[in-house]
Structure 1
Amino acid sequence: MSAPFRSGPVTAPIPDPGPAALAERAVRALAAADSRLYQLLADDLRAQAGTLSLVASAGAGPVSALAGAGALGTVAAHGYPGRRLRAGCAEADEVERLAVHRAMAAFSARHANVQPHSGTAARSSVCFGLLEPGDTILVPDPAGGGQHALGSPVSVSGRYFTAVSYGFDTVGRVDDDRLLRLARRFRPKIVVCAAGDHPRTPDFARFRAVADEVGAYLLADISEVAGLVAAGLHPNPVDDAHITTASTAQLGARGGVILLGKDADTPVPGAHHTLRRLVQRSVFPLTQGAADAAAVAAKARVFAHVTTEGFGRQARRAVAGARRMAAVLLDHGHDVLTYGTDNHLVVTNVMSRGTTGVVAEAALESCGLLTARARVPFDVKPPQVGSGLRVGSNVLAARGMSADDMAGCAELLDTVLGAVTPRSDTEYSLPDAVRLRVRDAVTRLCHRFPLPDYPVREDPSDGRAATAC
């Protein structure tokens, strides 16, 4: 039988009990009206409590953001603050203005649109606002690790626009010469620099020079490194790129954001408005309807959170820990792309050891270690299989792990990957003794490094309380 959860201590007074009372009433109503769904949510907390997430695109934001995500439930926020198409949006207007102000402060931007429902939605809005069907975009090669939502034939951008992919060299770095040759040959309308897809820092100024030479817009996407950018640990592209986009999910709030820097008030050729105005129109009404006011409230919270010293310390642990994990994997003979990392992400070519990405992911998950399959440069495996494995340090850092602790996690990865025997591209065997030993180590780490402020549950094995992860 699953161990019950109990509440942790309340550490701060609540100035207005309204939101807290509504949140408690909502949870109790769910338990009474839909026990199946309620139990699934409780099961998810237990699943988090027993696993270590090394998924590079995952993040663990402040639990306070969850309060925002449950607010403003009856608001129909079509349009922008002060110019809504429905009544009853006065408070939602103030929440959105707060989110915009905080986003601009966190990323040193001159304009922010906080309405996109995801990072993909943010990028799609930019593309549909700037391009006509069939226009050319220059994107990172999905076969080498680029995003499938950027120009891949399975994505809307790949179907409506002509995507040309620039590649990577044999160790996984951007092939600068090929980038320039393709830009000169195809004259794209947008050049995309996806900063968070790779373990090395891109040269934003060089990307801008390439875009300027061919008369293109530079779109920088910082979805996976937005927290590092806000913490000052990664170069900020806001003034190098014409437009910067990001997912906010890794920060702790589902959604996306579009940022503009020094080019915000640049006139758009062939139009009677600026880039700032184009971005606003590209989100609403071109590609989205009503804003998700609750998600905007959650974004307002996380944009403030990423400017705190506490988050800065967490981000520094993430970078230091990722470098240590890369070093440990290299020491054990793993084929680590670019031989290291500049951020939170480590990518390894597991096919060089005879294992596919999906097999490595499944074997590790069976031991309580969550990772993600990936494609690597010159990969011949399909996306569902992949030849690589992506691991990240964000959630480990949020738990409070040091670089030494994360090095221990890399040792666990090596133990599993060294013991797995592939039976096919998707099937494998793993000795039970290895699985049990690693699973036990993961459980002990989860108890030692819980995520802060999450509910706690009693550990039935020894009667002690363990915080849910």
Structure 2
Amino acid sequence: MDYSHVRATDPAVADAIVDETDRQRTTLSMIASENHASAAVIEAQGSVFTNKYAEGYPGERYYAGCQYADVVEELAIERAKELWGAEHVNVQPHSGSQANMAVYFAMLSPGDRILSLELEHGGHLSHGHPANFAGQLYDVEHYRVDPETGYLDYEQLAATADEFDPDAIVSGFSAYPRQVDWERIDAVADAVDAIHVADIAHITGLVAAGVHPSPVGIADFVTGSTHKTIRAGRGGIVMCGEEHADAIDNAVFPGVQGGPLMHNIAGKAVGFGEALDPSFTDYAEQVVANARALGDQLADHGLSLVSGGTDTHLVLVDLRDSHPDLSGGDAEDALDSTGIVLNGNTVPGETRSPFDPSGIRAGTAALTTRGFEEDAIREVGDLIAQVLDAPEDEETLAAVSERVDELCAAHPLYE
């Protein structure tokens, strides 16, 4: 990629861009919320659409000169409708959290009640954590996973909903490795007269490809990110039925945002177009196959997987049994020193601080984009286990780092 204009204007920023490009090329990105966008998506996101204000919606803008912004946004909307089978789509949210905010803003009032998956059990900040706007504006209660199985406890969810009487039930996750029974949660929401908001931020691509069940047409609202398993421009998305279209559009703009980021929407349009190609289904299937291979390999090394495995793009490892003296934060640091980039993560029944938790979370979306298949992923699992067994052994770390370099060279990125 050519950064000559940045180099001429601001060498310090150019250096950082080049260094980050090199970092991505020479490390294994296993953070479950990350992926590698195509060069086409990156070009679209860096286009002259960054100059254009386009407040409003296609055909109803508050500024002149929006005819091509309309083209790009309409392409993103129509492609999203085709990908997910949604009646109405808003592609303007800046992130998945902004998408959730828009739904809450449209359908709830401050003080209303939200029932959502607890953070340490796999939920997300925007589902009602007290440090987040959702936890500060709304009365929040949580459901959890079964501590024995690691699977969602649907009976506890229903009992809590009956007692708490929420106005909204949020399904979806940030660190839950299993498929979600959207219909079962929707039935609970119907029983207590609550809206059902399904957050598919992590699995937008898996749902689009049909390798994870879809909540579209089941939940009242479906929100998500557009840059994780879908590989489109960074941002968020809201999908709903036509009966809620005006409420959602008004909540996004002018409710919680001003002008849309048209360069990001251009990236979304390109990424959605890429996902409509039949090859994307092969990609999504490989993501899940790789995650299962990774989980099996880690389990073979004696590591404890929350729920015993995965149906999605991520595995969640509880280190307390196999490595009781190793925190998730220390594991993250040791792995990062070898070029394996993942994150420490809370686990159900967390006994440590969220800032230095008991688990690690690893995703396979980015490595699959680079062309990794099961055999290579299993080797990565071996390397992770080696580091966890000897996180301070310089000889082990050096050997793993050398092999990471070889794997990166064999699966080049942005050639």
State whether TM-score is above 0.5.
yes
The CA deviation string for residues 78-121 of structure 1, in whole angstroms up to 9 with x for no partner, is 11111111111111011101110001101111110000000000
Is the contact made by 2:115 and 2:169 (CA closer than 8 Å) also made in structure 1? yes
Q: In structure 2, what is the equivalent of residue 197 of structure 1? A: 175
Return closer, same or farther for 1:195/1:237 CA change in 2, 3 Å cut-off: farther
Q: In structure 2, what is the equivalent of residue 124 of structure 1? A: 101
Is the contact made by 2:233 and 2:271 (CA closer than 8 Å) also made in structure 1? yes
Distance 1:73 1:343 in 2: 34
Q: In structure 2, what is the equivalent of residue 252 of structure 1? A: 232
The CA deviation string for residues 242-273 of structure 1, in whole angstroms up to 9 with x for no partner, is 0000011212311000012xxx13xxxxxxxx
Q: In structure 2, what is the equivalent of residue 293 of structure 1? A: 262
Identity, % of aligned positions: 35
Aligned partner (choices 222, 245, 255) of residue 200 of structure 2 = 222
Alignment of 1:450 onto 2:412? yes
Moved over 2 A (4+): none
Q: In structure 2, what is the equivalent of residue 347 of structure 1? A: 316
Per-residue deviation at 1:193?
A: 0.5
Distance 1:303 1:34 in 2: 33
Is the contact made by 1:145 and 1:197 (CA closer than 8 Å) also made in structure 2? yes
Aligned partner (choices 7, 10, 13) of residue 34 of structure 1 = 10
Bigger CA radius of gyration:
1
Distance 2:301 2:50 in 1: 51
The residue identity in structure 2 corresponding to 1:395 is A
Alignment of 1:362 onto 2:323? no
Per-residue deviation at 1:177?
A: 1.4
Is the contact made by 1:195 and 1:225 (CA closer than 8 Å) also made in structure 2? no
For 1:137, what is the secondary structure of its paired residue?
strand
Is the contact made by 2:123 and 2:174 (CA closer than 8 Å) also made in structure 1? no
1:20-419 → structure 2 map (5 Å cutoff): 27-71=3-47, 72-170=49-147, 171-195=149-173, 197-250=175-228, 251-260=231-240, 264-265=241-242, 274-352=243-321, 353-354=323-324, 355-419=326-390
Is the contact made by 1:145 and 1:374 (CA closer than 8 Å) also made in structure 2? no
Q: In structure 2, what is the equivalent of residue 20 of structure 1? A: none
The CA deviation string for residues 186-240 of structure 1, in whole angstroms up to 9 with x for no partner, is 1111101115531100100000000000001110011111111111111111011
Distance 2:393 2:4 in 1: 43
Is the contact made by 2:125 and 2:132 (CA closer than 8 Å) also made in structure 1? yes
Distance 1:196 1:233 in 2: 18
Is the contact made by 2:126 and 2:132 (CA closer than 8 Å) also made in structure 1? yes
State the Cα RMSD in Å: 1.2
For 1:73, what is the secondary structure of its paired residue?
helix
Is the contact made by 1:78 and 1:86 (CA closer than 8 Å) also made in structure 2? yes
Question: What TM-score, normalized to structure 1?
Answer: 0.85
Per-residue deviation at 1:128?
A: 1.3
Q: In structure 2, what is the equivalent of residue 464 of structure 1? A: none
Mark the runs of 5 or more structure 2 residues left unpaired by the alignment. none
The residue identity in structure 1 corresponding to 2:111 is G
Distance 2:4 2:304 in 1: 50
For 1:257, what is the secondary structure of its paired residue?
strand
For 1:185, what is the secondary structure of its paired residue?
helix
Is the contact made by 1:351 and 1:357 (CA closer than 8 Å) also made in structure 2? no
The CA deviation string for residues 316-364 of structure 1, in whole angstroms up to 9 with x for no partner, is 2111111111111111111111111101110010122212111111110
Distance 1:308 1:234 in 2: 18
The CA deviation string for residues 297-333 of structure 1, in whole angstroms up to 9 with x for no partner, is 0000111111212222221211111111111111111
Is the contact made by 2:143 and 2:157 (CA closer than 8 Å) also made in structure 1? yes
Mark the runs of 5 or more structure 1 residues left unpaired by the alignment. 1-6, 8-23, 266-273, 421-429, 456-469
Distance 1:299 1:138 in 2: 30
Is the contact made by 2:44 and 2:270 (CA closer than 8 Å) also made in structure 1? yes
